[in-house]
């Protein structure tokens, strides 16, 4: 088999892997969203995200210990098996139409943590398999597999939640994670024979301390820039998310309607995301590199946020969320994650995971509490849109800083 065919084979398996990962998450995401909206919309989000942040901090050292002591063929399956078991454990607890506040909050936090870790592990694995040049060509198409899963998940949830209930969706989510595990095993086998790195290195434990990934974020200029980029992106996403949560709280009165509402947003965002991954990401990444993709996405956010500030309303806010989310996952994520192909393995698995989990949720907490306080002194939708627009401008500068720092280092492994 030629090198090109082997590359296509790996990319196809990776795309299927991402399909199952995001399909698993998006099956239950609408349930999480409607529970958040029912709990009080944006007023409850600071506390839900604080719980998510604290849960992430608790799990981070355990993840770091597994990564330090075991090869990826062990710690990746362990991560997915842990969350699959959690889904099954939650399923009998969510059979009632209106679960208690504590249970609803616990489920919301669980799903949020689940999403952070399984996606972070996926992209760390991809950065470990492919070179920088391959990442520019393949990460966009690989992302399409995830987008199809992200479209299929809410579609299945919307059609079947009335028949199988939330418990049934939980079991389907767990089965999807098990299918993702099979793809991990197939890619691990492929990497032993054709991977871009020495198979002996890939099969060795990464080593380091439990919190070494977090410490490296503070010390390394590239990682600091990536962490700041994550925080700025979170300001934009959290503000739009909170505003749409308020729309659902104020206009929809039952769990099914809210679940269908958020599933509809996911369907629209993921459909547009696929168009970005098919048409824009490969073109911009291969011809101009990741910086062009990051700058284009930031400019697009500025435009849609200006529309929200100028014409505030439910339709404009929903449209802005769809476009911003599609750009974030269809353009920003493959560009940003391709930069991790240039750093050592410990940073790919530990520091990246810390940024994609703890830093992300810290941004949620800070942004949501800031919105809560600013609302009390009179801030409205136009002011929040302006703040998110300023964050989009700042992402342009830190995107340049991150790309420049990455180009000054090339991972020898």
Residue 396's pLDDT is 93
Residue that the structure tokens 């014409």 belong to: 311
Residue 50's pLDDT is 85
Going along the chain from its start, the domains and CATH numbers come out as: 3-407 (1.20.1250.20)
Instruction: Flag residues of the chain having pLDDT under 70.
Output: 1-3, 33-44, 67-68, 93-101, 194-213, 252-256, 258-259, 345-346, 349, 409-413
- The H or E element spanning position 157 is helix 132-194
Residue that the structure tokens 């009335």 belong to: 162
Q: 3-state class of 262 per DSSP?
A: helix
Who contacts 171 (Cβ-Cβ below 8 Å, separation ≥6)? 87, 88, 91
pLDDT digits (tens, 9 = 90+) for 297-329: 999 999 999 998 888 777 788 888 899 999 988
Q: How many residues does the chain have?
A: 413
212 half-sphere exposure, CB direction, 13 A CA radius: 17
């Amino acid at each position: 088999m030629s090198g090109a065919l082997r590359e296509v084979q790996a990319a196809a398996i990776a795309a299927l892997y991402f399909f199952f990962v995001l399909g698993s998450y998006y099956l239950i995401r609408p349930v999480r969203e409607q529970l958040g909206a029912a709990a009080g919309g944006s007023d409850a989000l600071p506390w839900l995200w604080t719980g998510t942040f604290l849960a992430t901090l608790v799990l981070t050292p355990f993840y770091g210990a597994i990564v330090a002591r075991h090869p990826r063929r062990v710690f990746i399956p362990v991560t997915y098996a842990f969350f699959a078991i959690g889904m099954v454990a939650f399923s009998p607890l969510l059979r009632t139409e209106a679960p208690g506040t504590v249970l609803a909050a616990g489920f919301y936090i669980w799903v949020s943590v689940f999403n952070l870790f399984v996606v972070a592990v996926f992209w760390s694995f991809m950065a470990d398999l492919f070179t920088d040049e391959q990442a520019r060509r393949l990460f966009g198409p690989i992302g399409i597999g995830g987008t199809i899963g992200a479209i299929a998940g809410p579609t299945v949830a919307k059609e079947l939640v009335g028949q199988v209930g939330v418990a049934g969706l939980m079991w389907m989510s767990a089965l999807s994670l098990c299918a993702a595990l099979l793809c991990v095993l197939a890619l691990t086998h492929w990497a032993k024979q054709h991977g871009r790195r020495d198979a002996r290195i890939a099969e060795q434990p990464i080593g380091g301390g439990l919190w070494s990934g977090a410490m490296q974020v503070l010390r390394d200029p590239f990682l600091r820039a990536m962490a700041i980029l994550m925080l700025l992106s979170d300001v934009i996403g959290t503000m739009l998310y909170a505003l749409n949560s308020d729309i659902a709280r104020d206009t929809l009165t039952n769990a099914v309607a809210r679940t269908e509402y958020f599933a509809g947003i996911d369907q629209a965002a993921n459909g547009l995301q696929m168009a970005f991954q098919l048409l824009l990401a490969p073109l911009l990444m291969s011809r101009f590199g990741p910086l062009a993709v990051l700058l284009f996405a930031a400019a697009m956010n500025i435009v849609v946020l200006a529309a929200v500030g100028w014409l505030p309303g439910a339709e404009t806010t929903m449209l802005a969320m769809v476009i911003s989310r599609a750009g974030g996952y269809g353009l920003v994520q493959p560009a940003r994650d391709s930069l991790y192909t240039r750093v050592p393995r410990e940073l790919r698995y530990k520091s990246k995971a810390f940024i994609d989990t703890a830093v992300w949720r810290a941004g949620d907490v800070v942004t949501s509490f800031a919105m809560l306080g600013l609302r009390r002194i009179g801030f409205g939708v136009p002011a929040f849109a302006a703040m998110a627009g300023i964050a989009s401008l700042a992402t342009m500068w830190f995107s340049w800083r991150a790309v420049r720092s990455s180009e000054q280092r090339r991972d020898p492994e």
